[in-house]
Structure 1
Amino acid sequence: MSAPAQTASETLSHTVGETEPPLIEQTIGDNFDATVARFPDREALVDVAQGRRWTYAQLQEDVDRLARALMAVGVAKGDRVGIWAPNCSEWTLTQYATAKIGAILVNINPAYRAHELHYVLGQAGISTLISAKEFKSSNYAAMIDEVRPDLPGLERVILIGTPDWDELLGHADDVSAEQLAQVQAGLDNNDAINIQYTSGTTGFPKGATLSHRNILNNGFFVGELCDYTEQDRVCIPVPFYHCFGMVMGNLACTTHGACMVIPAPGFDPAITLQTVQDEKCTSLYGVPTMFIAEWNLPDFADYDISTVRTGIMAGSPCPAELMKKLIASGIEEMTICYGMTETSPVSTQNRTDDTFEQKTRTVGRVGPHLEIRIADPATGEVVPRGVPGEFQTKGYSVMLGYWQQPDKTAEAIEDGWMHTGDIGIMHDDGYVEITGRIKDMVIRGGENVYPREIEEFLYTHPDILDAQVIGVPDAKYGEELCAWIRMRPGTEPITAESLREFCSGQLAHYKIPRYVEIVDEFPMTVTGKIRKVEMREVTTKKLGLT
């Protein structure tokens, strides 16, 4: 890959990515078929829970069969097909089958309940819903029955693992391979192909609408920066319903001829490591909390993970102490990614040979064919390097818009720049440090406090397993700091007083948490992002703060 292009002014927080290799100007279906032609006999997909595996040729046969079946029952280009299920091979088949016929796949969060399901089905205008029957405590079939009478546009529901699925596939012979090829040839790579609902903390979620070009290229370049080839086998315990699973996972694999390995329907640390061992995975994905759970298993040393050379950690910044453990385990090429659903998702990524400091202090540098800047959120002016501001990104990855919400789209995208709402600092070398959400920044007595810095320090405490810092209301200072802490097993809970002693002389006095909450877990989204809004609400109420 060529050296990163330099911007006109090296003093400003603005940089652009490499321009080689060129962008892929194919649809997802055409790109997938090209990979099959190159690697027909290489393993493409393994579903551990179902005990099933496919070569690329076999996967193409099943994807095309499902695509023809969907056409036969009336699904056409532009129709919205919902998928509501945990990770499974049928999810992957549906992803590629809908792409081949130009139907828009709508990802539905597996954690949704009836109220949220009703909203998404209606807002996206979903006419076909492919769903699991149930998962964990969720009875999907019952919730669908509850909302369906109110949604006349929902024409058909297909439950995976029931006669519904087999009945659907039975219609495949009603459509010829030539008819499918004709439809596929008529698609444009700028067509909308995927809607992903962002987990809004207030109000209803918004449907980020993404094209073939958006997600195919993002998956490809994420894989490029992990140095993927057809020899790689990627363990994907992160959810398919989110970009992490279906783009950084599936599309990164199929653009390189690598193998997608599904360890389980939902995340389980022991099953994930067993899968890495049994399937000889070369790459492992997860958010930091997943890696923490895996590396803290009592029998961690019993798993052979020596085949893993790379992977992706995203969702939250990587704690330095955790990266040390990964490197000690032989995973020296782990990369950190940063982005958002609206940008397909990745905007910055570490390179496999980056330094330890670059992988723990930053989220990498700009991705190929993208442009990033740090701007003053009030004025919009690009700030000098080393000065915090809002991270913004521009290029092929920026979504088409929010589904049927042009007003919300206009608020988020200005002159092609996606406003992320995240606070970033660009270093002199172009690497970016994300210090939190603009709304997560704590202003204590006029001092701007970035929780990430404090969290990093708390990770160095020998008894602390994980830590999250939030701001809570304070009559004197406006806001005060509270640390939510997960203790290592077998250790005594830390007190606010002992934490202050630990921090004293190491952190400025205004950065030392006043309150401490000892918890077993943090409130999270399904993708592993910490819900700090919920943590603030809980703490404020518990401590009687106003």
Structure 2
Amino acid sequence: MSMTLPSYTSGTSEVPLLGMTIGAMLDRTAEKYPDTEALVALHQDIRWTYKEFVEKVNEAARAFLAIGVKRGDRVGIWSPNRYEWTVTQFATAKVGAILVNINPAYGVHELDYAMNLAGISVLVTADSFKASDYRKMVYDLAPELKAAAPGKLKAQKVPELRAVVNLDEDKHDGMWTWAEFVGFASDVSQEELDKVQGQLQFDDPINIQFTSGTTGNPKGATLTHHNILNNGYFVAESQLLTEKDRLVIPVPLYHCFGMVMGNLGCITHGATMIYPGEGFEPQSVLQAVHQEKATALYGVPTMFIAELAEPDFETYDLSTLRTGIMAGSICPAEVMKKVNGKMNMKEVQIAYGMTETSPVSTQTSSLDPFEKQVTTVGRTQPHLETKIVDPGNGNVVPRGEIGELCTRGYSVMLKYWNNDEKTREAIDSAGWMHTGDLATMDEDGYIQIVGRMKDMVIRGGENIYPKEIEEFLYTHPAIEEVQVTGIPDDKYGEELIAWVKLNPDADPVTGDELREFCKGKIAHFKIPRNYKFVDEFPMTVTGKIQKFKMREISIEEMGLKK
């Protein structure tokens, strides 16, 4: 009898995994490419070669040792994209401290939660960013800081925090400036740092990243050198990055897209990290590509949409661009076509993953047919395994059937920090990370994400996947961006609502016209009954749409019962 292939693949490669720590990898790259530009922070007027960059990293690493930071201690970083963020990333890796990434959008309540969950003893913080006054929030959380000598804090609400480094040039009560902090490096020799670095193991935990919070309380995914160094390496390998490549990184460093796929992708290949600004601004990104003759660019689809919509888009020379990554959420086919053409990113790749898997599990390749690049998230990454299972019984489903995507391999996190119960829920006894994403796998092993298990809408017994409807609505010329979710309905259990952002250059449309546009083209039960026209969507700082907030807002505005 003929057997349908199961939805399982493993990524093969002739390129072996890197068996080293992050610090050792940086040293090797700096030795190999000392005069290649490593880091360009345009908003801070910083331009360092690998030789200069590793000197700055070693200086900060020695300073961390000087203030008493030891292997396994947690060091928090709460800042937008700045050179100090990256220096701290590599300096903590060299001393074996666990870097805890704190979301720049957090308020004082979330800061309290993150600080205490991870047990942060040293916090490196920006002074402020956009509307966030970080210094005020730190003082609110630890009022004892104002009267404390720097490095000698004893605070009731954050008992493990003892030192704060503020990236502001001005001096503030109880805090060291960055300049004061790195000044302590003179108390520790390079030989002492080398000895500490030499004792570290690549399976040591080195990073805690909080899940993005599209649902519930963030959990602290605990990642090793081996997890994130290799993931950054293979994401960049797929793009064929070399020491001649120059990558513009407008995505947040606090997120794995920035610090792993960006920073670690570059330092494993001798490529250049370029930061256009503290936060995302489409104009500064285009300017950075133009000015720095960038060959690669990262972003989530909403960023590329904003760049393409920039009024003076045509004035920027993007001819040097070749590749890059689009990730973070599903990319509409129409946007992908414009990025290929108007932005010259003919080799742009789609990557899919999650914080808990370092992050990337699957990726398209520049050799994939166009249709696969715009409809799938590619195939399983090297040295990883993927399977798609029936959420009900856990059995692997046949190719083409929808189920939950699971990942296994070097990329799977160690655990959720101080949360054994959630760790057991996420990683099963066979080592598979359960993603919560619904997907299909075709005969060639390409994977298509059809939605979140939590996003699936059940209308009158029919399973509806919002992504499919969004892809169709994107073909309407008046629609710039669209998101579909479910809301309660007395008759069908759930009904669909589409949040629509209109293209400013197109003629306006109504909900009735959009319903008419759908008729006969998609099944009647998939046509959204309700439409809400918006200028923006509720999002996490990394650009992920928060559909649960869309649902809550729609329920409240329409006076529905939950």
Measured against the shorter chain, the TM-score band is over 0.9
Q: Post-superposition shift, 1:204?
A: 2.3
Contact residue 210 and residue 218 of structure 2 kept, 8 A: yes
- Aligned residue for 1:503? 518
Identify which of 263, 270, 274 aligns with 1:257: 270
Runs in 1 of length 4+ with deviation above 6 angstroms? none
- Aligned residue for 2:380? 366
Q: Post-superposition shift, 1:328?
A: 1.4
Q: Post-superposition shift, 1:492?
A: 4.8
Contact residue 274 and residue 303 of structure 1 kept, 8 A: yes
- Aligned residue for 2:399? 385
2:299 pairs with 1:286: yes
Q: What one-letter code is carried by the residue in structure 1 that aligns with 2:556?
A: K
Q: Post-superposition shift, 1:290?
A: 0.2
Contact residue 27 and residue 212 of structure 1 kept, 8 A: yes
SS in 2 for 1:530: coil
1: CA distance, partners of 2:340 / 2:434: 34
2:189 pairs with 1:176: yes
SS in 1 for 2:75: strand
Q: What one-letter code is carried by the residue in structure 2 that aligns with 1:472?
A: I
Contact residue 496 and residue 513 of structure 1 kept, 8 A: no
1: CA distance, partners of 2:450 / 2:61: 44
Contact residue 41 and residue 56 of structure 1 kept, 8 A: yes
Q: What one-letter code is carried by the residue in structure 1 that aligns with 2:293?
A: K
1:49-91, CA deviations, whole angstroms, 9 ceiling, x for partnerless residues?
0111000000000000000001001011000000000001000
Contact residue 477 and residue 506 of structure 2 kept, 8 A: no
- Aligned residue for 1:357? 371
Q: What one-letter code is carried by the residue in structure 2 that aligns with 1:381?
A: N
Identify which of 244, 247, 259 aligns with 1:231: 244
2:128 pairs with 1:131: no
Identify which of 217, 235, 238 aligns with 1:222: 235
2: CA distance, partners of 1:331 / 1:173: 46
The share of aligned pairs that are identical, in percent, is 59
Q: Post-superposition shift, 1:299?
A: 1.2
1:375-432, CA deviations, whole angstroms, 9 ceiling, x for partnerless residues?
0011000000000000000000000000011111001000100000000000111000
- Aligned residue for 1:401? 415
Q: What one-letter code is carried by the residue in structure 1 that aligns with 2:79?
A: A
SS in 2 for 1:368: coil
Q: Post-superposition shift, 1:469?
A: 0.5
1: CA distance, partners of 2:96 / 2:135: 27
Matches within 5 A, 1:520-535: 520-535=535-550
Q: Post-superposition shift, 1:151?
A: 1.2
Higher mean Cα deviation, 199-208 or 12-21?
Answer: 199-208
Matches within 5 A, 1:299-338: 299-329=312-342, 330-338=344-352
Q: Post-superposition shift, 1:201?
A: 4.3
2:171 pairs with 1:157: no
Q: Post-superposition shift, 1:356?
A: 1.4
1:267-325, CA deviations, whole angstroms, 9 ceiling, x for partnerless residues?
00011000000001100000000000000111111110111100000011111111111
2:289 pairs with 1:295: no
Identify which of 100, 108, 114 aligns with 1:120: 114
1: CA distance, partners of 2:214 / 2:468: 23
2:46 pairs with 1:52: yes
Q: Post-superposition shift, 1:490?
A: 4.4
Gap regions ≥5 residues in structure 2: 143-154, 172-176
2: CA distance, partners of 1:74 / 1:19: 42
- Aligned residue for 2:149? none
Q: What one-letter code is carried by the residue in structure 1 that aligns with 2:339?
A: L
- Aligned residue for 1:5? none
Identify which of 24, 30, 40 aligns with 1:30: 24
- Aligned residue for 1:411? 425
- Aligned residue for 1:489? 504
1:106-159, CA deviations, whole angstroms, 9 ceiling, x for partnerless residues?
000000000000011011000000000001100000000111241121000000
Q: Post-superposition shift, 1:161?
A: 2.9
SS in 1 for 2:227: helix
1:476-496, CA deviations, whole angstroms, 9 ceiling, x for partnerless residues?
111111000000114454322
Identify which of 58, 75, 88 aligns with 1:94: 88
Q: What one-letter code is carried by the residue in structure 1 that aligns with 2:470?
A: E
Contact residue 196 and residue 209 of structure 1 kept, 8 A: yes
Q: Post-superposition shift, 1:199?
A: 2.7
1: CA distance, partners of 2:133 / 2:363: 38
- Aligned residue for 1:12? 6
Contact residue 214 and residue 547 of structure 2 kept, 8 A: no
Q: What one-letter code is carried by the residue in structure 2 that aligns with 1:196?
A: Q
Gap regions ≥5 residues in structure 1: 1-8
Q: Post-superposition shift, 1:352?
A: 1.4
Identify which of 206, 212, 216 aligns with 2:225: 212
Identify which of 462, 478, 502 aligns with 1:463: 478
Contact residue 412 and residue 433 of structure 2 kept, 8 A: yes
Number of residue pairs aligned between Structure 1 and Structure 2 = 538
2: CA distance, partners of 1:77 / 1:113: 29
After superposition, the Cα gap between the structure-2 partners of 1:539 and 1:40, relative to the gap in structure 1 and judged at 3 Å, is same
- Aligned residue for 1:271? 284
Q: What one-letter code is carried by the residue in structure 2 that aligns with 1:532?
A: K
1:198-242, CA deviations, whole angstroms, 9 ceiling, x for partnerless residues?
133454211000000000000000000011000000000000000
Identify which of 468, 473, 485 aligns with 2:488: 473
After superposition, the Cα gap between the structure-2 partners of 1:180 and 1:442, relative to the gap in structure 1 and judged at 3 Å, is same
Identify which of 333, 346, 354 aligns with 1:340: 354
- Aligned CA-pair RMSD: 1.0
1:348-371, CA deviations, whole angstroms, 9 ceiling, x for partnerless residues?
000112121111110000000000
1:512-533, CA deviations, whole angstroms, 9 ceiling, x for partnerless residues?
0000000000000000000000
- Aligned residue for 1:433? 448
Q: Post-superposition shift, 1:175?
A: 0.3
Contact residue 317 and residue 360 of structure 1 kept, 8 A: no
Q: What one-letter code is carried by the residue in structure 1 that aligns with 2:13?
A: T
1: CA distance, partners of 2:101 / 2:267: 19
Contact residue 74 and residue 97 of structure 2 kept, 8 A: yes
Q: What one-letter code is carried by the residue in structure 2 that aligns with 1:155?
A: R
2: CA distance, partners of 1:207 / 1:531: 19
2: CA distance, partners of 1:518 / 1:203: 27
Higher mean Cα deviation, 162-171 or 68-77?
Answer: 162-171
2:34 pairs with 1:21: no
Q: Post-superposition shift, 1:19?
A: 3.0
SS in 2 for 1:386: coil
2:98 pairs with 1:84: no
1: CA distance, partners of 2:232 / 2:7: 26
Contact residue 389 and residue 424 of structure 1 kept, 8 A: yes
Q: What one-letter code is carried by the residue in structure 1 that aligns with 2:488?
A: P
Q: What one-letter code is carried by the residue in structure 2 that aligns with 1:92?
A: T
Contact residue 493 and residue 518 of structure 1 kept, 8 A: no
Contact residue 24 and residue 213 of structure 1 kept, 8 A: yes
2: CA distance, partners of 1:420 / 1:479: 24
2: CA distance, partners of 1:223 / 1:138: 33
Q: What one-letter code is carried by the residue in structure 1 that aligns with 2:421?
A: D
